[in-house]
Structure 1
Amino acid sequence: MSTSPRKKHTSRERITHVVEGWFISEPLLFSAWTLHDVVIEPRIETIRVQHGRIEYNPAFIDSLRKHELRSVLTFEAMRILLGHPYDRRQPRTELSYMASNLSVQECLRSDLPIDRARQVFGDEQFDDQYFEFYYQELLQRQQSDEDSDPGQSDDDESQSRSKSPSTNSQDEQQHETPDDDSVADDASAAADEGHRSGETGSSAPESSESASQRTSSDSLLQAYADPTRVGQENADGWESDDLFQNEVQTTIREAAETDGWGTIAGSAKEKILSTLEPIVDYRAILRSFRQSVLSVNRRLTRMKPSRRYGFTQMGSRYDFTTKLLFAVDVSGSMGAKDLRLGFSIVGRFFQYGVESIDVLWFDEQIRSEPMTLRRARNQFEVIGRGGTNFQPLMDYIDDHRGYDGLLVFTDGYAPVPTKPKNSKTRILWLFKDESTYQAMDPSLRSIGKAAYVRPTKSKPAASRS
């Protein structure tokens, strides 16, 4: 007695089947997905999110096994919840897609052929970071590669980029038997049985059709994971969209209030919730702080013509005269690594064009006279290691008003000081980690801006080898 095979589901039906299953088990993923219009886009290779649309190539969806499809859709839903397509795109599109993949993979630890951060960067301390952190690390590596080999050809550069953050090798992937939504016919079932037998030592041959289908699935799945192949088309449409991002954040808040997280892990919850507050990028803060405290001297020179009168009048030359004071907390609660991190940050200002910086260290009192630096230094001899008191710093800039900016690097465990009378000297509080930033920032906002360096357990983002 023969039975006719069931009709094979279309790509849209397969997607709908997975998403409908989320309604009970994964309400947050379901809500994020259903905010979007799901449309066919055969001009792209895989699947992407942009402008309130989830666009997919039916050939890509059809090539995926059931568990692979579920993983891909979950991956894209998490990308939406983390705000990458609507709030966090960076200038270099491929690197944006790479950073997004790393951030989502750290949340999900999926079985997709996408490397974890430790595999890309070679260090477990890069685990569980956020999108902007990975983007900056990838950008620095790419720029370092470009600087070290400026004559590298475009082909070599493309190959180099594809090796670092792309995908695991096929030997590392577990090839499971196809698991389509439709009931397989007798020939497919026999081919699957032959494949399973082959894995256990049987010499039963595998059908060429089954092998071809698996090769196609693996190839397209590898493409989805490869930023050099699909990063441009998948992330090029990402842009800031406050209205849509607000809808996503409303969905997240509702999930938090009703405990509608589904099976999302605790660490992933923290990352999703963190999208409700802006990420503090201390490097951007340093750059903006530098811009806000720049001062210049105008002097006349015969070597430069006047823009209005030419060489008949003297031209103007502008020299930067910015004076910065960098104060490092050397109290007992600051470890040796913290101090190295603090002093290493001084070097960043030299990269931003500041010619000299005065550096001093303090605990409950100022422990040194300002030391003027004109280049980065790796070693300092410090004394102190007592408690922490910010008030001597406020008194110091009241007595020494020639500084355009004061940057205080600290762990934050100190009483809030009295606001200085000197309003000319801008103040930036730079905390060594996020927890002290969150504890101290509300109390110090009236005195100056604040940022933090280490958002999590990562290696110091500002350290330089």
Structure 2
Amino acid sequence: MTSKQRISNIIEKWYLIDPLFFAIWTTHELSINPNIQNIRVGLGKIEYNHTFIEALDAQTLYQVLRFEAMRIILKHPYLRRKENQTVAYTASNITIQEYLQTPLNFPYAKQIFQTDEYDKKYFEFYYYKLLEQQDSMGAQTGGGGGGGGGGAQEQYTNPETSGIENTESWDADEYYSNQINDKIESALENNTWGTVPSHIQELILATLKPKINYREILRSFRASIISVNRVLTRMKPSRRYGFLYLGSRRDFCTKLLFAVDVSGSVTNQDLRKAFSIINRLFKYGIERVDVLQFDSEIKGKPLTLKKAQTKIKVIGRGGTYFQPVIDYIDKNKEYDGLIIFTDGWAPIPTAPKNKRTRILWLFNNEHNYRRMKDNLKQIGGATFIKEL
């Protein structure tokens, strides 16, 4: 029996017992690629090396195909490309292994992080946790792979041998993401989950939730803090009495404070994003923005901007402490709104006494947003900048 026939026999069985896996598999083209080491998914293809398939026994092949089908269902190959491909492969493998719990030699979260605190999380979470682990340990690799043996399975599960090759084509792809979402929604509507248990269904359904649109949240925040002054004018007649009395106009007078975290943990790229957001606020109808820089303390006086700027000098780059910013709006209560741009690596501040000024926490990425949002919900709303 050829490798393609072995694969087809397994997939055909899914039609009855795992219709979601079958439906997802059929959205991709199956093809032989002798130039790769094992099996990979991406760009609408499932590519495999026939020698790798032939080296697997029936049960192991079944587990490998199911593992790759789950990788497609979770859309890991169709998320925005990660800078460290080896770590991305490891993060994907940990996520899938946590839920499928296969006999394949993929690691569980507890084996990598030495704690059960990170059990059954999601791809982005594990990716950033692995990067943090690398930084703290000075590691050279993505870690967390299969054994050091030379067998087919060991080679497949080891991120050092397969990570870069198997994630080569991974990148954001709306077309394939939508195709996958259609199949998931169909499974939900028709209850065709097959053998997929409820806790995995929840993980799959979570991938359907739309990403937070920080631009919409900024617009909403701007609308919630908008402030106007009624000014009498002779240039406009009174609606009731004509030119016998002064008319009135309403001038926008919103006072917005934008606090930028300039600590050492915030990258220059993140700072460019922050100041790009400030410039965008002028498009949303904000006529003036006071920009406050902070790390462990307030750095100088606020810079008042009345139009978009191409260059702003950054000062600071120390540690991070939010409390000085909160104390600042307690002393300066004239602000309608405060936006705090940060990576979130700081202690939770005490809530302000000033209840007038609305607060929005704007995080530099989704990982830091998820890590901090629940702890900050008593102080203000939160969103994050989607990776560009």
Superposed displacement of residue 89, structure 1:
3.2
8 Å Cα contact 2:296-2:319 kept in structure 1:
no
Match of residue 234 from structure 1: 166
Task: Confirm whether residue 166 of structure 1 aligns to residue 145 of structure 2.
Answer: yes
Distance 1:351 1:450, change over 3 A: farther
Counterpart position of 1:4: none
Moved more, 266-275 or 228-237: 266-275
Largest Rg, 1 or 2: 1
1:322 to 293, 297, 302: 293
Letter of the structure 2 residue corresponding to residue 428 of structure 1: W
Deviation at 1:405, TM superposition (A): 3.6
In the TM superposition, 1:342-361 aligns within 5 A as 353=317, 357=321, 359=323
3, 11, 16: which is aligned to 1:19?
Answer: 11
Query: Among 428, 450, 461, which residue is 2:361 paired with?
Result: 428
Residues 256 and 399 (structure 1), Cα distance of their counterparts in 2 relative to 1, 3 Å cut: same
Q: Is the contact between residue 41 and residue 166 of structure 2 (CA under 8 Å) also seen in structure 1?
A: yes
Mapped contact 1:287–1:352 kept (Cα < 8 A)? no
Q: Is the 8 A contact 1:115 1:168 kept in 2?
A: no
Counterpart mapping for 1:106-117 below 5 A? 106-117=98-109
User: Quick one: distance in 1 between partners of 2:316 and 2:108?
Assistant: 32
CA 1:281–1:110 in 2, change beyond 3 Å: closer, same or farther? farther
Q: Which of 235, 238, 263 is 2:195 aligned to?
A: 263
- Residue 83 of structure 1 aligns with which residue? 75
Superposition pairs for residues 214-233 of structure 1, below 5 Å? 219-233=151-165
**For the residues of structure 2 that align with 1:61 and 1:352, how far apart are their CA atoms?**
56
User: Deviation of residue 90 (structure 1)?
Assistant: 1.1
Match for 1:165: what amino acid? Answer: G
Answering whether residue 113 of structure 2 is matched by residue 134 of structure 1, we say no
Q: Which of 181, 192, 201 lines up with 1:249 in the alignment? A: 181
SS where residue 44 of structure 1 aligns? coil
Would you say the 8 A contact 1:322–1:354 is kept in 2? no
Q: 1:141 to 1:254 in 2, by over 3 A?
A: same
Cα distance between partner residues in 1 of 2:134 and 2:373: 32
Task: Single out whichever of 235-244 and 82-91 deviates more from structure 2.
Answer: 82-91
Partner of 2:247: none
Structure 1 residues 30 and 134, CA, compared in 2 at 3 Å: closer, same or farther?
A: same
CA distance in 1, matches of 2:124, 2:13: 32
Q: Is the contact made by 2:296 and 2:320 (CA closer than 8 Å) also made in structure 1?
A: no
1:51 counterpart letter in structure 2: L
Matched, 1:399 2:333: yes
Shift in Å, 1:141? 2.0
Deviations 1:234-282 (A, max 9, x none): 0011111101100101111111111111111222111111111256799
Question: What residue number does 1:197 align with?
Answer: none
Amino acid at match of 1:84: H
Corresponding residue to 1:275 among 180, 196, 207: 207
Structure-2 separation of matches of 1:97 and 1:351: 37
Using the TM superposition, give the Cα deviation of residue 167 of structure 1 relative to its aligned residue in structure 2, in angstroms.
1.7
Kept in 1, the 8 Å contact 2:42–2:77? The answer is yes
Cα drift, residue 144 of structure 1: 2.9
2:89 pairs, out of 89, 97, 112, with 97
Q: Which has the higher contact order (CA 8 A, sep 6+)?
A: 1
Q: Conserved in 2, the CA contact under 8 Å of 1:78 and 1:104?
A: yes
In structure 2, the residue corresponding to 1:322 is in which secondary structure?
Answer: strand
Amino acid paired to 1:166: G
TM-score by length of 2: 0.63
Query: Unaligned 5+ residue runs, structure 1?
Result: 1-8, 150-156, 171-217, 296-319, 327-349, 362-368, 373-392, 452-465
- Assess if the C-alpha contact under 8 Å between 2:296 and 2:318 holds in 1: no
**Residue of structure 2 in register with 1:31 after alignment:** 23
- Following the alignment from structure 1 to structure 2, what is the Cα–Cα distance between the partners of residues 252 and 268? 12
Letter in 2 for 1:139: L
Describe the shift of the 1:357–1:126 C-alpha distance in structure 2 as closer, same or farther (beyond 3 A).
Answer: closer
CA change 1:140–1:352 in 2 (3 A) is farther
Distance (Å, rounded) in 2 between the aligned partners of 1:281 and 1:107: 28
The question of whether the paired residues in 1 share the 8 Å contact of 2:15 and 2:22 is answered with yes
| CA drift at 1:145 | 3.4
1:121 is the counterpart of 2:113: yes
- Kindly indicate whether the alpha-carbon contact (under 8 Å) linking 1:325 and 1:406 is maintained by their aligned counterparts in 2: no
**Residue 291 (structure 1) aligns with:** 274
Secondary structure at the aligned position of 1:114 is classed as: coil
Q: Identity percentage over the alignment? A: 30
Amino acid at match of 1:322: Q
CA offsets 1:437-459 (integer angstroms, 9 cap, x no match)? 6xx89xx9xx85436xxxxxxxx
| Cα 1:41–1:222 shift into 2, 3 Å | same
User: Quick check: 1:11–1:58 contact (8 Å CA) kept in 2?
Assistant: yes
Measured at CA, do residues 435 and 427 of structure 1 come closer, stay the same or move farther in structure 2, by a change above 3 Å? closer
Partners of 1:121 and 1:62 in 2: CA distance: 34
> Counterpart of 1:180?
none
Task: Quote the RMSD (CA, aligned, Å).
Answer: 4.5
Q: Give the Cα–Cα distance (whole angstroms) in 1 for the partners of residues 339 and 62 of structure 2.
A: 53
